[in-house]
A and B are shown apart, each in its own frame.
Chain A
Amino acid sequence: MAEPATLGTVAAVDAIKERTGGVGYLEGPRGGRPRRVLTAHNVVLYGTLLVIAAYFLLPLWVMLVTSFKTMDEIRQGNIFAPPTEFTIFPWIKAWAQACTGINCDGLSRGFWNSVYILVPSVVVSIAVASVSGYTLANWRFKGSEAIFTILILGAFIPYQVMIYPIAILLGKVGLFGSLWGLVVVHTIFGMPLNVLLFRNYFSSVPEELFKAARVDGAGFWGIFFRIMLPMSLPIFVVSMIIQITGIWNDFLFGVIYTSNERYPMTVQLNNIVNSVQGTKEYNVNMAATLLTGLVPLAVYFASGKLFVRGIAAGAVKG
């Protein structure tokens, strides 16, 4: 399949070689006219981009510099200025000592809660969504398109509409307030986007491959695990990125479906920063905020183009 293209390229190079006596490319300038770097057009273009980039970077900068300042310096200085007296104490305090209510063991509690929520939620939600997407793409049954439509429409239903009855259902099966209850909730609300993602991906796998596997005697799970899965690593990565950032960033479900002891990091962060007791320690607050943003930012910077691909794929077709 890729072969004709390769052959074509080789043939083209050969023709050029003949004409130029084996150099492999034509002498002289190729491509467009050489561009001057400093045109009025470029100055405006890059100037605009830089100004907007500054607006986007500003909050990150402010958070960073604030989190390394002492409270004295914050009271006197300019929030945009870098710290004159560099301190990492706010970070330590945010991680290990900041108080929410009676607990004063810092954000670390929320961090680990979030990790315990994140790992099973990501695994379960992706497992369910990928198998569902595979069923919808390759094993359609009567009404499967209707189910798919409902799932997609489900993405648009405000969560507030479903929160309360879900809480009742979770209570009935004894999962309310437990870690696994939250895993179920994240699986439910991760379905629309991830099922769409997987369904579209599996639909793009040539149908003949699926037919060949059936002739070869592979069944539902055989085709899924031995043919489809090895081919779909990229889409699993995309789905993982979406789920990790989404679940880590969740606030609403954490507040509703868990109890004080199990609050995820976002909830605990909000409680620390917006607590009305005591004097405000802005440096600690900003360190805590950055700590909470660290996991999704790390995922974002590490995944690069896949993150973009994930949201674009989900959004354009959604």
Chain B
Amino acid sequence: MAVTHPAEVAAPDAARVRRPSRLLRNIPAKIASIPMVLIALVIFVGCTAWTVFYSFTKSGMLPRLQFVGLDQYDRLWSTPKWWTSIENLAIYGVLSMILTMALGFFLATLLDRKVRGEDVFRTIFLYPFALSFIVTGLAWQWILNPEFGIQAVVRSLGWEGFSFDPLHSRELVIYGILIAGIWQGTGLVMCIMLAGLRGIDEDIWKAARVDGIPTWKTYTHVVIPMMRPVFVTTLVLVASGVIKLYDLVKAQTDGGPGGASEVPAKYVMDSMFGAQNLGQGFAASTMMLLSVVIILIPWAYLEFGGKKRG
């Protein structure tokens, strides 16, 4: 006896259902991603492109769509203040990268030696990172104050000729800022390095001990090569932070004495909001962007290009 169930018997071809439009699927997910998409496209891409675009115009107090080619860049590179900014950033950048990396890694290896009170030491090394650059700058401005600070204290101990007044010396002022920057930023590097060291398989240490390799040699020959990606990432982080250097200078010296501690970010701010010379600000910030790109491209190549081949 043939029993038919009309609802259940279906000819597959007749019942073929087309794929619904992709646009209509997961509507809530699409709505939820609107802010993210807007931020990425309008702000990060759009605003960046806008600034680069307007750096080729004759914008002054207000943005103006009158193209002047590379004029703004010509003017920028013939401004002594810009050159000082670049020199300062170069000195500060290279030294702070070397010093925070070296000191941060050194501290991380010390703490990785199963130190008693590791938490206390880590807390001490890292707390400056929680403070703002303004607070950091003002604190060090006070310590480096020639009348009351380190110089005064050493002199009062009987060493009358002692001179240590970096914040009022055109040649030394950037090093005075460097001291504060290192104080603020080393803890972060230490933390990342420590995380990297902890990520290394403990069996590697056991194997090195079984093979009778001394500790320092294990670091130089095994650990540091294994930490290469961590070093590279940290370096990129520190470098991108260095380029943003602004608040610290603003608080500690405000560019002084006599513009000797100017930095590019401050140059941009002063051009845009002080001198009302937007074109210069756009050109200078485009140069900052360019330097970030120069840092990022080799990193991206090392990080992602290498992986694809390997």
Chain A residues within 8 Å of B, Cβ to Cβ: 45-46, 48-49, 52-53, 55-60, 62-63, 66, 74-75, 78-80, 128, 131-132, 134-136, 139, 141-142, 144, 147, 150-151, 153-166, 168-169, 187-188, 191, 195, 219-221, 245, 248-252, 256, 266, 269-270, 273-274, 282, 285-286, 289, 292-293, 296-297, 299-301, 304-305, 307-308, 311-312, 315-316, 318
Contacts and interface: CB of A to CB of B under 8 A. Distances in A.
Contacts of A57: 124
Given A79-B148, A161-B52, A274-B251, 17 more contacts: A48-B110, A59-B183, A78-B152, A128-B36, A132-B36, A154-B44, A157-B44, A164-B51, A249-B133, A289-B138, A299-B130, A300-B126, A300-B127, A304-B123, A308-B191, A315-B234, A318-B237
Interface in B272-296: 272-273, 278, 281-282, 284-286, 288-289, 292, 296
A158 B233 CA distance: 18
Contacts of B213: none
A165 B47 contact: yes
B82 interface: no
Contacts of B47: 161-162, 165-166, 169
Contacts of A162: 43-44, 47-48, 51
A275 B234 CA distance: 37
Interface residues of B, number: 96
B277 to A, nearest CB: 12
Contacts of A248: 132
B230 interface: yes
Contacts of B132: 248-251, 266, 292-293, 296
Interface of B is mostly: helix
A74 B46 CA distance: 52
A316 B233 contact: yes
Contacts of B46: 165
A271 to B, nearest CB: 10
Contact of B40 (A75, A147, A293): A147
A191 B40 CA distance: 9
Contacts of A48: 110
Point out which of B41, B127, B194 has the most chain A C-beta atoms below 10 A from its C-beta.
B127
A296 B131 contact: yes
Contact of B107 (A52, A74, A161, A300): A52
A158 B247 contact: no
Contacts of A46: 115
B134 interface: yes
Point out which of B39, B122, B191 has the most chain A C-beta atoms below 10 A from its C-beta.
B39
B35 interface: yes
A220 B265 contact: no
Nearest to B133: A251
Point out which of A157, A248, A251 has the most chain B C-beta atoms below 10 A from its C-beta.
A157
Contacts of A55: 183
A53 B40 contact: no
B89 to A, nearest CB: 11
A300 to B, nearest CB: 4
Given A128-B36, A166-B43, A308-B126, A156 B29 contact: no
A282 B131 contact: no
B135 A58 contact: no
Given A132-B35, A165-B47, A315-B233, A78 B139 contact: no
B216 to A, nearest CB: 12
B119 to A, nearest CB: 8
A213 to B, nearest CB: 14
A221 B143 CA distance: 53
11 contacts: A46-B115, A49-B111, A53-B124, A74-B148, A154-B44, A158-B243, A249-B133, A266-B135, A273-B141, A289-B139, A316-B230
Interface string B217-238: 0000000000000100110110
Given A188-B39, A311-B191, A165 B50 contact: yes
A154 B292 CA distance: 11
Interface in B28-70: 28-30, 32-33, 35-37, 39-48, 50-52, 63
B292 A157 contact: yes
A135 B32 contact: yes
Contacts of B237: 315, 318
Contacts of A251: 132-134, 246-247, 250-251
A51 B32 CA distance: 51
Q: What 4 A-B pairs are tightest by C-beta distance, nearest first?
A: A249-B132, A220-B28, A300-B130, A154-B44
B269 interface: yes
Nearest to A195: B36
B36 A158 contact: no
Contacts of A308: 122, 126, 191
B32 A220 contact: yes
A164 B42 CA distance: 13
A221 B35 CA distance: 16
B57 to A, nearest CB: 12
Nearest to A162: B47
A135 B33 contact: yes
B267 to A, nearest CB: 9
Contacts of A187: 35, 39
A45 B142 contact: no
B138 A163 contact: no
Contacts of A274: 251, 254
A165 B132 CA distance: 26
A56 B125 contact: yes
